[in-house]
């Protein structure tokens, strides 16, 4: 597998001729290479995007939408190839990539192809005096930087609104999972995008990513990734007055009241804990259960979790695959060790493992889904993002206590509340310091809604018209009557 950059409509290796290795986490084996791009490649990509901007920004939204829809058609046509590539690159079960990642990538492209044609701006009449109207102009060349956990899903979630709004894009997927973005880049011309409108660079975040966010011609940065990286990017871009959207980490609480629909709460909490090996920013990593049902809920959750078996991600029957890399596996295992030091009891899992009777996968990065009990709400394991198949479980006695524990971290991305008391659902949702609150469900997404976090989980909102507003600059025009 050889990944290449897309610059000015051409598939190219890095100018410096250097490469990075591509590893299959299910086997722990190198299976390809990608360009180790540098500032030189960033300069070329930004130049090509700047050249394309005048014409692309003047292209009617309907024609831009047609390009996005044709790209969506190509994603659909190649869904099997993309699912298999995503699974190999990331370690996620192919069934998950085929059911969630790739269909959502297609949907993102179609959603913004449609949204841009319904996007409108305001007009403010000053009775008898003047009329104001707002123009929403594309920004120019923008940077889109995405992480490894939902590679094509989050990559398209950024480039689609940016392109729909008339910007030219230089995008950088994670160096750990670049393959699906590369495959997409091979169809950009066929979809009808003029050369230079979408450029895709591969390489290390600290090298090519850093050069990209610093580039003087980059007008805005849309970033999804870790909080520390987000803080660094904010420190680089703020003095350069670039627009910035940050979607960062989370330490989400699932609050389960005793009047919930028990089986539904149990099944969904399994999913919200361990889907994609717990590597979704929205996973509920702290499970808070009302004391009256604590033992019953905990025992049922542990019993179900013990039955989860890691398997070959490429096997369509596998529900739990590998975590993304050796470094990430070791980080997760370090947190499990820390949990023991902090007084936690491992109720299930807690170790690395390998799929049974699967020769060839011994070198892969697998962790048994893990539940930890007995930790204080304010210990490191309950405060820091682990981003793996590891959850903690703790009882609470009152609604106030549950909300206070849920709000105790520096993060504020999402929360899940389980109750059949309507008044309580509204009350608790409003009290939670999160950008998203699901009641009696999890990861139910309407793409029109605002998406993002508060506190250290991010700045700004993606989704719906919010993303189109981010990728445009408003200008007020005032005309005297």
For the question of residue 281 being annotated catalytic, the response is: yes
For tokens 């976090």, name the residue.
453
- Own/partner long-range contacts of 460-468 (Cβ < 8 Å, ≥24 apart): 460/244, 460/245, 460/246, 461/245, 461/435, 462/157, 462/158, 462/161, 462/222, 462/245, 462/247, 464/115, 465/115, 465/119, 467/112, 467/161, 468/112, 468/115, 468/116, 468/119, 468/136, 468/161, 468/164, 468/165
Binding ligand NDP (rule: CB under 6 A), the pick from 108, 385, 393, 472 is 385
Task: Choose the binding region for ligand NDP from 3-11, 21-29, 115-123, 143-151 (rule: CB under 6 A).
Answer: 143-151
User: Which residues touch 432 (CB under 8 Å, ≥6 apart)?
Assistant: 253, 403, 406, 407, 415, 417
Q: Does 311 bind ligand NDP (CB under 6 A)?
A: no
User: For the sheet containing 370-373, what is the strand order?
Assistant: 345-348, 370-373, 390-396, 284-290, 252-256, 414-418, 436-439
Q: Does 91 bind ligand NDP (CB under 6 A)?
A: no
For tokens 């506190």, name the residue.
455
Q: Does 232 bind ligand NDP (CB under 6 A)?
A: yes
Shortest Å, Cβ 172 to ligand NDP = 6
Residues 448-467 within binding reach of ligand NDP (CB under 6 A): 453, 458
Shortest Å, Cβ 24 to ligand NDP = 17
Q: Does 413 bind ligand NDP (CB under 6 A)?
A: yes
- Cβ closest to ligand NDP, residue 254 vs residue 265: 254
Q: Does 226 bind ligand NDP (CB under 6 A)?
A: yes
Q: Does 145 bind ligand NDP (CB under 6 A)?
A: yes
Distance CA 97, CA 91 (A): 10
Q: Does 409 bind ligand NDP (CB under 6 A)?
A: no
Give the pair of three-digit tokens for residue 407. 């709000």
Q: What is the DSSP letter of 312?
A: -
Draw the binding track, 170-189, toward ligand NDP (x: CB under 6 A; -: no contact): --x-xxx-------------
Whether 456 contacts 248, CB under 8 Å: yes
Distances (CA, A) of 210 to 35, 215, 229, 354: 16, 9, 10, 36
Alpha helices in 119-202 (DSSP H): 151-164, 179-185
Q: Does 250 bind ligand NDP (CB under 6 A)?
A: yes
Distance CA 34, CA 128 (A): 62
Single out the catalytic residue among 281, 283, 290, 462. Answer: 281
Residue 295 pairs in a beta bridge with none
Q: Does 18 bind ligand NDP (CB under 6 A)?
A: no
3-state SS, residue 12: strand
- Please give the distance of CA 312 from its chain centroid, rounded to a whole number: 23
Shortest Å, Cβ 39 to ligand NDP = 12
Binding ligand NDP (rule: CB under 6 A), the pick from 24, 247, 290, 466 is 247
Q: Does 24 bind ligand NDP (CB under 6 A)?
A: no
Task: Choose the binding region for ligand NDP from 27-35, 66-74, 206-214, 375-383 (rule: CB under 6 A).
Answer: 206-214
Q: Does 103 bind ligand NDP (CB under 6 A)?
A: no
Binding ligand NDP (rule: CB under 6 A), the pick from 169, 171, 244, 248 is 248
Cα Rg of the chain (Å, integer): 23
Q: Does 28 bind ligand NDP (CB under 6 A)?
A: no
- Cβ closest to ligand NDP, residue 147 vs residue 196: 147
Task: Choose the binding region for ligand NDP from 205-213, 310-318, 364-372, 466-474 (rule: CB under 6 A).
Answer: 205-213
Binding ligand NDP (rule: CB under 6 A), the pick from 53, 148, 294, 297 is 148
Q: Does 209 bind ligand NDP (CB under 6 A)?
A: yes
What are the backbone angles phi and psi of residue 290, rounded to the nearest 5°? -60, 140
- Cβ closest to ligand NDP, residue 312 vs residue 385: 385
Task: Choose the binding region for ligand NDP from 82-90, 181-189, 204-212, 352-360 (rule: CB under 6 A).
Answer: 204-212
Binding ligand NDP (rule: CB under 6 A), the pick from 147, 321, 369, 395 is 147
Catalytic residues: 247, 281
Residues making contact with ligand NDP (CB under 6 A): 145-149, 154, 172, 174-176, 204-206, 209-210, 213, 224-226, 229, 232-233, 247-250, 281, 385, 387, 413, 453, 458
């Amino acid at each position: 597998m050889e990944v290449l950059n897309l610059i000015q409509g051409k598939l190219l290796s890095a100018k410096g001729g250097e490469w990075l290795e591509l590893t299959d986490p299910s086997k722990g084996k190198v299976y390809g290479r990608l360009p180790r791009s540098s500032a030189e490649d960033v300069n070329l990509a930004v130049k090509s995007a700047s050249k394309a901007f005048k014409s692309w920004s003047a292209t009617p939204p309907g024609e831009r939408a047609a390009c996005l829809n044709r790209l969506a058609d190509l994603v659909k046509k190649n869904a099997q190839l993309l699912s298999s590539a995503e699974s190999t690159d990331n370690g996620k079960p192919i069934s998950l990539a085929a059911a969630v990642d790739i269909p959502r990538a297609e949907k993102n492209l179609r959603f913004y192809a449609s949204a841009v044609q319904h996007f409108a701006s305001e007009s403010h009449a000053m009775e008898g005096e003047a009329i104001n109207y707002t123009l929403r102009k594309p920004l120019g060349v923008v940077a889109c930087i995405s992480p490894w956990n939902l590679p094509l899903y989050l990559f398209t979630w950024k480039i689609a609104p940016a392109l729909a709004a008339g910007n030219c894009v230089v995008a950088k997927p994670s160096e750990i999972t670049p393959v699906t973005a590369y495959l997409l880049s091979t169809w950009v011309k066929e979809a009808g995008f003029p050369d230079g409108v979408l450029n895709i660079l591969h390489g290390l975040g600290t090298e090519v990513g850093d050069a990209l966010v610093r580039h003087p011609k980059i007008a805005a940065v849309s970033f999804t990734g870790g909080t520390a990286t987000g803080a660094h990017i904010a420190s680089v871009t703020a003095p350069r007055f670039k627009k910035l959207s940050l979607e960062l980490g989370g330490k989400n609480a699932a609050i389960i009241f005793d009047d919930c629909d028990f089986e539904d709460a149990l099944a969904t909490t399994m999913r919200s804990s361990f889907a994609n090996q717990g590597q979704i920013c929205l996973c509920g990593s702290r499970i808070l259960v009302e004391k009256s049902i604590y033992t019953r809920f905990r025992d049922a959750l542990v019993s179900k979790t013990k039955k989860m078996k890691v398997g070959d991600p490429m096997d369509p029957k596998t529900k739990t695959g590998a975590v993304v890399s050796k470094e990430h596996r070791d980080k997760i295992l370090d947190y499990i060790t820390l949990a023991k030091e902090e007084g936690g009891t491992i109720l299930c899992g807690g170790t690395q493992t390998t799929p049974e009777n699967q020769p060839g996968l011994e070198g892969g990065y697998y962790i048994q889904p893990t539940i930890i009990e007995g930790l204080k709400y304010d210990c490191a394991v309950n405060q820091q993002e682990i981003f793996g198949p590891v959850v903690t479980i703790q009882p609470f006695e009152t609604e106030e206590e549950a909300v206070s524990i849920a709000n105790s971290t520096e993060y504020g991305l999402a929360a899940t509340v389980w109750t059949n008391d309507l008044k309580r659902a509204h009350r608790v949702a409003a009290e939670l310091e999160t950008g998203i609150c699901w009641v009696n469900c999890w990861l139910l997404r309407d793409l029109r809604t605002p998406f993002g976090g508060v506190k250290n989980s991010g700045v700004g909102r993606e989704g719906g018209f919010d993303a189109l507003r981010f990728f445009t600059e408003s200008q007020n025009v005032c005309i005297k009557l």
